[in-house]
Amino acid sequence: MGLLSRRRESSVNESARADASALDETRSRLAVVELELGRAQAALDSLPLGVVLVDPKGSVISRNAAATPARGHADVLLQGAISRLVTQALGGVPAQSSVELFGPPKRVLQVSASPLPDGGVLATVEDVSDRSRLDAVRTDFVANISHELKTPVSALAVLAEALADEDDLPIMRRLAGKMVDEAHRAATVIDDLLELSRIELGGMAVRDRVDVATLLSDAAVRSLAGAEQRNIRIDVDEPVDLAVLGDRRQLVSALSNLIDNAVKYSEEGSEVWLSATREPGVAAMHVTDSGIGIPAKDLDRIFERFYRVDRARSRETGGTGLGLAIVRHVANNHEGDVQVRSIEGEGSTFTLRVPEAIS
């Protein structure tokens, strides 16, 4: 009996050891599986694309961080869209929809749901806010440039028709003069567009050391003809020993646009002042006028393409609404910025700030 008892006890111990070994192996495998699942979830969470995996019964198996926005109205809208599209995809029909979240900031999300071979659904959430804004900018750009070019072209057509039926020499000369003005207006729009495209697409072509005094002087000379037509004096206070590192052509273009803007919106016989100051690591170039100024409500938008505070005055002065957009892009290309201080009825000061060249 003792021997049989010892054999049974040994068998039980061996079985327990086998069970324990199997349990340890199972735990080890579970740990590996959990590790791999954690890595997979971390990889999914790192994706900018939201991912939601749904089983054939409609239950969510997994979702990543991008598919789970902060709690609130935005989450309700997004989850509602996902549920609606998943229900449609569970019937075997792919579905897609856009969700606008008004923020701030405003966002546009593209939600898609596709059936999987096992009967489940893969739903994705893509943030297309930048693409949506770009499409809106392109649409506005096409509409604005069409309008800007249509006006002088239509005027040319009307003037040409009037000229064709006119025999009086003084009237013919006046009509011809107006045709020249409209042709110049169209050419100005095209030149500004080409300049803006060159600056946007070309970026920073060169990085040369340029004296700020030279930039102010060259910009003043470039704008002198327009200023003389309106009897406006350009006063340049040239700084000493101040330089920037950048594209001389772009910087002169930006400054001359600021001067032209000041001249257009100043009274005849007035003055425009150019100066520069040194700030910590920055050369600040100022263009100041005593003109009509800018309403506070318009200050945030004046650097947009084609935006003009007073369209009637812009027609009178021949502005295209592209000059300040050019200035903004030049500033961005040079890792700088452009600032404005203005009091309506008293004048404005535009400041182009560019990193200073270190000697």
Q: What is the CATH number of the domain that holds 167?
A: 1.10.287.130
Over residues 194-206, the pLDDT tens digits come to 766 666 665 555 6
Over residues 296-351, the pLDDT tens digits come to 887 778 877 666 665 444 444 445 567 788 888 888 888 899 999 988 888 899 99
Mean pLDDT score of the chain, rounded to an integer?
80
The pLDDT assigned to 7 comes to 58
Asked whether residue 239 falls in the same domain as residue 279, the answer is yes
Q: What is the CATH number of the domain that holds 111?
A: 3.30.450.20
The pLDDT assigned to 235 comes to 92
Q: φ, ψ for residue 203 (rounded to 5)? A: 60, -145
Residue 175 structural domain:
129-202
Separation in Å, CA 222 to CA 18, 35, 219, 301: 93, 67, 5, 26
Over residues 250-292, the pLDDT tens digits come to 898 889 889 988 998 888 889 999 999 999 999 999 999 988 8
How sure is the predictor about 150, in pLDDT bands with cuts at 50, 70 and 90?
confident
Asked whether residue 213 falls in the same domain as residue 359, the answer is yes
Q: Which has more confidence, 147 or 248?
A: 248
Out of 127, 158, 173, a domain closes at 127
Asked whether residue 285 falls in the same domain as residue 354, the answer is yes
How sure is the predictor about 9, in pLDDT bands with cuts at 50, 70 and 90?
low
How sure is the predictor about 212, in pLDDT bands with cuts at 50, 70 and 90?
very high
Asked whether residue 277 falls in the same domain as residue 306, the answer is yes
Asked whether residue 167 falls in the same domain as residue 120, the answer is no
How sure is the predictor about 233, in pLDDT bands with cuts at 50, 70 and 90?
very high
Report angle CA 225, 226, 232 to the nearest 5 degrees: 100
Query: Is the pLDDT confidence value at 353 over 90?
Result: yes
The pLDDT assigned to 311 comes to 47
Strands 121-127 and 95-101: unpaired
Closest of 226, 320, 216 to residue 276, by C-alpha: 216
The pLDDT assigned to 317 comes to 46
Asked whether residue 193 falls in the same domain as residue 68, the answer is no
pTM of the model: 0.53
**Per-residue buried b or exposed e for 67-91, using 16+ beta carbons within 10 Å of the residue's own CB:** bebeeeebeebbbebbbebbebbbe
The pLDDT assigned to 312 comes to 45
Helix (H, G, I), strand (E, B) or coil at 269: coil
Asked whether residue 220 falls in the same domain as residue 353, the answer is yes
The pLDDT assigned to 326 comes to 83
Asked whether residue 148 falls in the same domain as residue 74, the answer is no
Asked whether residue 121 falls in the same domain as residue 133, the answer is no
Out of 72, 92, 127, a domain closes at 127
Q: What percent of the chain has pLDDT over 70?
A: 79
Strands 50-54 and 121-127: antiparallel
Asked whether residue 191 falls in the same domain as residue 217, the answer is no
Asked whether residue 239 falls in the same domain as residue 351, the answer is yes
Query: Is the pLDDT confidence value at 8 over 70?
Result: no
Domains contained in the chain, number: 4
> Would you call the peptide bond into 105 cis, given omega within 30 degrees of 0 as the criterion?
yes
Asked whether residue 77 falls in the same domain as residue 210, the answer is no
Over residues 36-87, the pLDDT tens digits come to 767 766 777 777 788 888 888 888 888 888 777 556 666 778 888 888 988 8
Helix (H, G, I), strand (E, B) or coil at 255: helix
Q: Any residues with CB less than 8 A from the CB of 89 and at least 6 apart, and which?
A: 95, 113, 114, 115, 121, 123
- Which of the given ranges, 128-132, 143-147, 313-317, has the highest pLDDT on average? 128-132
Out of 106, 127, 148, a domain closes at 127
The pLDDT assigned to 195 comes to 67
